A and B are shown apart, each in its own frame.
Chain A
C-alpha cells in the first residue's frame, strides 16, 4: 500500500472511531440503569429478610443510610471461623459510625445446633441471621465460603471479597470505603 493510501486509511479509521464513540454514548446516564438487584459491584444489593436465632427480623432494605457488611459463613468452614474475631473487633470499633454487620449463617448447609456454641466461643455481638432455606445464598450467587459483601449507604454493592480469612487491613479499608 502506498504511503498516501495508508494515511488516508488511518484517517478514515480514526474518524470512524470518533463517530462510533458518539453513536454509542450512554444516553441514560448510568450504565447499570434500573439499579437491578444483583450480587455484583455497582448493583443494588439483593434483598435479605431473615431471622436471628432469637427471632428478631432483619430486612436489608430498611438499613438504607447505614453501611452494611454482609458476611456469609458456616460453623464448619475454617476461614469463616478465622475471620470472625477480626469482624467482631472492627464491628465494635465502627458501629457508632454507622456500620452494621449481618452475619448470614448458611444454615441450609450447616448444623443449627453448632451455631450457639460458636457465637459464645467467639463472643459475637453483631446480628447472626439464619438462612434456613438457602434463599440468600441463591440470591447472592454463593460459590465459596466465606463471602463478604460491602454495601454502601445508598444500598449498592461497593465491593465483594470471596474467600478468606480477611485480614484486618482489608476489612478496615473496605469498611472505611463504605462509611464515606
Chain B
C-alpha cells in the first residue's frame, strides 16, 4: 500500500498533494470566515496574492543568491525547474504581500490570522502526505513492529506521525467552539504545531544537530511553543468569580484590568424608593 502510494506520487508528483491540501484548506477557511468577521472573498484574494508572491518571491530570492549563475543564462529566470527556489525568501515575500493586502483592505490582523488557521492546518496535513510520498523527513532506525522500510533500513514512520499530528490539530481546530478573543485560534494552532514538532523530531533521522547532540528543530519548536503559550495567556480575559449567594450561582465578571473590591454579605436589593426615582 505504502509502496504503491510512493510510486504513484513520487517527486515531483508529490506537489499535487500540497496543491490539493491548499485548495481544501482554502475551502474550509472560507466557510469559517464569517465566524471571525472576515469577508470570505477578501480572504480568498489574500491567499491568492500571498501564494503568487510565494512562487515569484522564491525564484527572485534564489536568483539574487546565485546572481552569477543567472547572469550567464538569463532565461533560467523563467525556467520550469521548481528546485530553483528559496523557501525562506518565498515565505518572506508571501508574508509581506499578505500584510500589505490586509492593510489595504483594512482587515484586522488577528481575526484574519484566525480565519487563515484552517488553511494552514490543512496545508500541514498535505505537507505530511507529500513527505510520505517523497520519503523526505524520514525517521531514525528502529526495530518497532510498525517500522517502515525506507532508505535501506527499518525506520520510524516519522511522516505518518506527522500526518496524524496534523490531522489531530486540524480536527481540534475544526470542532473548537467560537472564541471571542481574536488571535487565539491562530495561537492555538501555532502551539499545537510546535508541540507536535517538538515530540516528532525525536523520531527523525535527518535532524540538524547542534551542541550535545541536541536537535535544532526541537529547540526552535520549544521557543515557538513557549511564545505561543505566553501570548495565549495574555489574550485570556482576566476574570474574578463573584458568588451571588441568594441566587446560588457563580458569575464570572469581566474586570477589564480594574480591581474589584471584595463584597461580603448579601447583594443589595433595590429599594422601593430607588425604583420609584428611576420611574
The answer, yes or no, to whether A64 is at the interface (CB within 8 Å) is no
Interface size on A, as a range, is 35 or more
Within 8 Å CB of B198, what residues of A?
A: 17, 20-21
Digit string of B192-235 for contact with A (CB within 8 Å is 1, else 0)? 00010011011011110100111100110010011001100100
Bound: A18/B230 CA distance, A: 16
Interface of B is mostly: mixed
Chain A, residue nearest B198 (CB): A17
Tell me, rounded to whole Å, the shortest Cβ–Cβ distance linking A156 to chain B: 13
Q: Are B69 and A173 in contact (CB under 8 A)?
A: yes
Q: Are B225 and A17 in contact (CB under 8 A)?
A: yes
The answer, yes or no, to whether B73 is at the interface (CB within 8 Å) is yes
The answer, yes or no, to whether A94 is at the interface (CB within 8 Å) is no
Within 8 Å CB of A162, what residues of B?
A: 10-12
The segment from A38-46, A68-76, A100-108 found at the interface with B is A38-46
Chain A, residue nearest B84 (CB): A170
Bound: A105/B63 CA distance, A: 32
Bound: A173/B77 CA distance, A: 13
Q: Are B12 and A163 in contact (CB under 8 A)?
A: yes
Bound: A6/B235 CA distance, A: 13
Total interface residues on B, using CB and 8 Å?
Answer: 48
Bound: A97/B70 CA distance, A: 20
Q: Which residue of the partner chain, among A14, A38, A159, A167, contacts B79 with CB atoms under 8 Å?
A: A167
| Chain A contacts with B in 100-159, Cβ cutoff 8 A | 143-144, 159
Bound: A176/B70 CA distance, A: 13
Bound: A24/B236 CA distance, A: 33
Within 8 Å CB of A37, what residues of B?
A: 152
The answer, yes or no, to whether B140 is at the interface (CB within 8 Å) is yes
Within 8 Å CB of A40, what residues of B?
A: 135, 138, 151
Bound: A14/B214 CA distance, A: 16
The answer, yes or no, to whether A7 is at the interface (CB within 8 Å) is yes
Bound: A172/B207 CA distance, A: 27
Within 8 Å CB of B205, what residues of A?
A: 31-32
Q: Are B83 and A13 in contact (CB under 8 A)?
A: no
The answer, yes or no, to whether B31 is at the interface (CB within 8 Å) is no
Bound: A24/B218 CA distance, A: 10
The answer, yes or no, to whether A161 is at the interface (CB within 8 Å) is yes
| Chain B contacts with A in 60-92, Cβ cutoff 8 A | 63, 66, 69-70, 72-73, 75-77, 79, 81, 83-84
Tell me, rounded to whole Å, the shortest Cβ–Cβ distance linking B136 to chain A: 8
Within 8 Å CB of B214, what residues of A?
A: 21-22, 25
The answer, yes or no, to whether B103 is at the interface (CB within 8 Å) is no
Q: Which of A23, A37, A40, A144: most chain B CB closer than 10 A?
A: A40
The answer, yes or no, to whether A168 is at the interface (CB within 8 Å) is yes
Q: Are A38 and B151 in contact (CB under 8 A)?
A: yes
- Besides the contacts A36-B151, A169-B69, what 4 more A-B pairs have beta carbons closer than 8 Å? A3-B233, A21-B222, A24-B215, A31-B205
CB<8 Å pairs between A and B, sample of 8: A3-B233, A6-B233, A17-B222, A31-B140, A37-B152, A161-B83, A169-B63, A173-B69
Query: B-contacting residues of A (Cβ < 8 Å)?
Result: 3, 6-7, 10, 13-14, 17-18, 20-32, 36-40, 42-43, 143-144, 159, 161-163, 166-170, 172-173, 176
Query: A-contacting residues of B (Cβ < 8 Å)?
Result: 7, 10-12, 63, 66, 69-70, 72-73, 75-77, 79, 81, 83-84, 135, 138, 140, 151-153, 195, 198-199, 201-202, 204-207, 209, 212-215, 218-219, 222, 225-226, 229-230, 233, 236, 238-239
